[in-house]
Structure 1
Amino acid sequence: MSNLSLTLARGSFRDLKKNFYFVKYSVGVQRISRSSIRLGPGTFGGWSSSSHSKSKGKSGRVIRERSMAMSTAGDSGGGGVQERGEFRVFENVDELSTSLADYVAELSEAAVKERGAFAVVLSGGSLISLLGKLTEAPYSKTVDWAEWHVFWVDERVVAKNHPDSNYKLAKDGLISKVPIIPGHVYSINDSLSAENAAEDYAFGLRQLVKTRIVDVAKITDCPKFDLILLGMGPDGHIASLFPNHPLINEKEEWVAFITDSPKPPPERITFTLPVINSAANVAVVVTGAGKAETLKKVFGEELPHGSLPAQMVSPIDGNLVWFADKEAASKVVGHS
């Protein structure tokens, strides 16, 4: 392990304001219990961790705010209607991207001041391009990139230079353009099978939790990431958790593997719902008219268990924010 000195984040992001629509929803929340954690051995290939001392913000001018209680069916696990989180709607993708950068930068600043590190989890797809503003001024100069620790919520089991690799996507679009320390980038060991890669990633993550580079959730004993950034597929999948797939019900493993993904490539590893819902902050970013119907369902009545994974995102002791452009939000009740 290497010992790296830590510096506090510099700069403030509270003055970087962009207009957004802000709609609050309340729906039932499903609690996920966790009786035990099974972690397999592994080499944690390519990972390095640092010893360090333990040491949110909202951006934009509110144009409209509305509160609604969404009726739900079934057991919410929390004794009734729970706060769903914030739903921010933007005129276009450019405004969304700027506000998303502001949001991430503020959380980074707060985490570094509080813990001495910012543990952030990325997704693939269009999310990386939407984070592109972070590579530009002022963020490129004011974010304390040296204290970022970057993870992936899911990864395709392919070579790191393969076009399907989420690591390659993030490296090309973000990581290579800002001064993140290479040893703070935690990619999978791409020489392993899907099962062994998942075990290896979980083993390495466990070591980082022990050193508190990644915090621990007191309620679940899962890793408590400072921020998990999610996209949502047209079918409502998040990470590599697909509708009605058995992995939706996984409660013991932190990292699971899949060899029959309905979306290619078939072999992947993924964080499970208990880990996602143990984060301090979760942001789900959705753009485009092609996802409007699915987003409408997410904020509608509770659907049968497992049929819409995005509806199951509900931090147990954290904050949830949805970022959507007007096209994606066009069918959400209460938007227009």
Structure 2
Amino acid sequence: MAFSGDGKDGRELRVYENLDELKVDLVEYIAKLSDAAVKERGTFAIALSGGSVIGLIGALCQAPYRETVDWSVWQVFWADERLVAKDHPDSNYKLAKDGLFSKLKVLVLPSQLHSVNGLLSAEDAAVDYEFVIRQLVRTRLIGVSETSDCPKFDLVLLDMGSDGHVASLFPGHFDPDETEEWVTYITDSPEPPSGRITFTMPVINAAANVAVIATGSDKAEAAHLVIDDAGPECPLPAKMVNPADGKLTWFLDKLAASKLGSCAQSSE
């Protein structure tokens, strides 16, 4: 690891020499959070996103994690999803299933994977997914935030885009002042496919832990604007990630961290 330390607002920054180092530490980070949540609540509620996330955590289905993680109590959700069939190449569900959960067949049951109905309209899919989450909050499979009525996921795992988007909250394509909805939708995504559902920022910020991943040189400028607080008054979505009663951890490779200020650069 090139650098690990606390940034502004209690954020932890972890910068790695290469992608392999990042993968190893990210998987260990998830396993430790899972163990802590299971000991505290008896379950682990994790929300995944698309992008490169699944490719980075594939080692979870290998030794030692295949044997040491208590998969039977995982409850898996999607922080965002493309509105396509579950077997479509663009489906985040398919990406996660093929890259991870199909390799844990007897350890993770289909009932533990709470996927989005991508065959509904965008609005209906958002309403339906929020209903599913609300039901599981009532049964305590998902915790409740101490500071709001939002669900408190044990971990929301996000990949930041080169434009500073997280989940499917794209600059100029979401309401930064949203406070009521847990799940919203867009029909004009700047990246295909155009129809998507996504957690709102209040739900992301209600999580006990949020991890934001940024890898590659194309993420360097956005990482600088977000982490160094160098952007315009109207913030990039990733800059709005700030858990109210949780912890934010950034995982970056050296390419994505190449434009960061002295906090990281002087410690490498």
In the superposition, the TM-score normalised over structure 1's length comes to 0.76
| Counterpart position of 1:320 | 248
Q: Which has the higher helix share?
A: 2
| Counterpart position of 1:122 | 48
1:129 aligned partner, one-letter code: G
Alignment of 1:248-267 (within 5 A): 248-267=176-195
2:110 aligned partner, one-letter code: P
Deviations 1:235-259 (A, max 9, x none): 0000110112233322110000111
| Counterpart position of 1:6 | none
2:189 aligned partner, one-letter code: S
Deviations 1:87-110 (A, max 9, x none): 001111111001001000000001
Shift of 1:175: 1.1
| Counterpart position of 1:231 | 159
Shift of 1:20: 5.1
The answer to whether 1:142 aligns with 2:39 is no
The answer to whether 1:25 aligns with 2:7 is yes
CA distance in 2, matches of 1:142, 1:301: 39
Give the one of 226, 235, 240 matched to 2:168.
240
| Percent of residue pairs bearing the same amino acid type | 58
CA distance in 1, matches of 2:230, 2:146: 27
Give the one of 273, 279, 292 matched to 2:220.
292
CA distance in 2, matches of 1:265, 1:306: 26
CA distance in 1, matches of 2:183, 2:160: 19
8 Å CA contact 1:247–1:256 kept in 2: the answer is no
Runs of 4+ in structure 1 deviating by more than 6 angstroms, as ranges, are none
Alignment of 1:180-191 (within 5 A): 180-191=108-119
CA distance in 1, matches of 2:170, 2:118: 22
1:141 aligned partner, one-letter code: E
Give the one of 206, 209, 213 matched to 1:278.
206
Partner SS, residue 255 of structure 2 = helix
| Counterpart position of 1:42 | none
Alignment of 1:1-336 (within 5 A): 19=1, 21-26=3-8, 82-83=9-10, 85-178=11-104, 179-301=107-229, 303-304=231-232, 306-334=234-262, 335-336=264-265
CA distance in 1, matches of 2:110, 2:233: 40
Partner SS, residue 111 of structure 1 = helix
Shift of 1:287: 0.5
Partner SS, residue 188 of structure 2 = coil
In structure 1, stretches of 5+ residues that fail to align are: 1-18, 27-81
Alpha-carbon RMSD across the aligned residues, in angstroms, is 1.2
Aligned residues: 262
Larger Rg: 1
CA distance in 2, matches of 1:295, 1:173: 27
Shift of 1:21: 1.7
1:161 aligned partner, one-letter code: D
8 Å CA contact 1:250–1:272 kept in 2: the answer is yes
Relative to structure 2, which stretch is displaced further, 262-271 or 186-195?
Answer: 186-195
8 Å CA contact 1:276–1:313 kept in 2: the answer is yes
8 Å CA contact 1:217–1:223 kept in 2: the answer is yes
Partner SS, residue 293 of structure 1 = helix
8 Å CA contact 2:82–2:118 kept in 1: the answer is no
Shift of 1:191: 2.6
8 Å CA contact 2:173–2:188 kept in 1: the answer is no
CA distance in 1, matches of 2:210, 2:235: 20
Partner SS, residue 89 of structure 1 = strand
CA distance in 2, matches of 1:20, 1:280: 26
Partner SS, residue 249 of structure 1 = coil
8 Å CA contact 1:259–1:266 kept in 2: the answer is yes
1:321 aligned partner, one-letter code: T
